[in-house]
Amino acid sequence: MASLTQYSKARVAITTAFVLNGTAAGAILARDTFDATPFISTLPYIVFSAAMVIGRLFGDRLAHKFSPVKLIIGGGLIAGVGLSLGLLIGGVNGMIFGWFASGLGLSTVIPMLFSQAGEIAKTRFDGQFAPSEGVAMVSGIAYFGFLAGSPSLFWAIKKARLKNG
């Protein structure tokens, strides 16, 4: 069975947390770029959240059927391709589609990373540290992505606006 190394788990956790924390930017982008009404501006986040719920409801079944590693990789592909297609579609409809795909694709990544961290601690490092310590390590690393996500994203948006007038 394929396995993620601790280093790649840390990168996936930080990146996923970074993206999940930056979802509020969808409302700002819809409002400022497409002059959307306050209600329409909230739709990308609402759709993202609904997709997260749908993905998490079916995530365990999919993990048992395909394996957690394949689910993490497939989820990343769904999120990346969906966001790219959303950019190509353009407008608020493209944003809504992109955030839906992102929510669906990333919904199971963090739970699967926690599960894999506990599993690796139990199987490969039995007696060296507890599964709960593995989960704590991954969640601590992911927390950095949550903390850095919004400020970094809004800094980049501000810099892009200054360059483009």
For each of the domains in the chain, give its residue range(s) and CATH number, in order of start. 6-155 (1.20.1250.20)
Q: Does 56 or 154 have the greater pLDDT score?
A: 56
Q: Report the alpha-carbon distance of residue 142 to residue 137 in Å, rounded.
A: 9
Per-residue pLDDT, averaged over 69-77, amounts to 88
Per-residue pLDDT, averaged over 70-99, amounts to 89
Q: Report the alpha-carbon distance of residue 116 to residue 137 in Å, rounded.
A: 12
Q: At residue 54, does pLDDT exceed 60? A: yes
pLDDT value for 68: 87
Q: At residue 127, does pLDDT exceed 60? A: yes
DSSP, residue by residue, 89-124? H-HHHHHHHHHHHHHHHHTTHHHHHHHHHHHHHHHT
CB neighbours of residue 44 within 10 Å: 29
Q: At residue 62, does pLDDT exceed 90? A: yes
CB neighbours of residue 56 within 10 Å: 15
Lowest mean pLDDT among 12-16, 88-92, 123-127, 147-151: 12-16
Per-residue pLDDT, averaged over 92-108, amounts to 91
User: 2: pLDDT confidence band, cut at 50, 70 and 90?
Assistant: very low
- Return the residue matching tokens 């190509």: 88
Q: At residue 108, does pLDDT exceed 80? A: yes
Query: Mean pLDDT over all residues of the chain?
Result: 81
pLDDT value for 1: 41
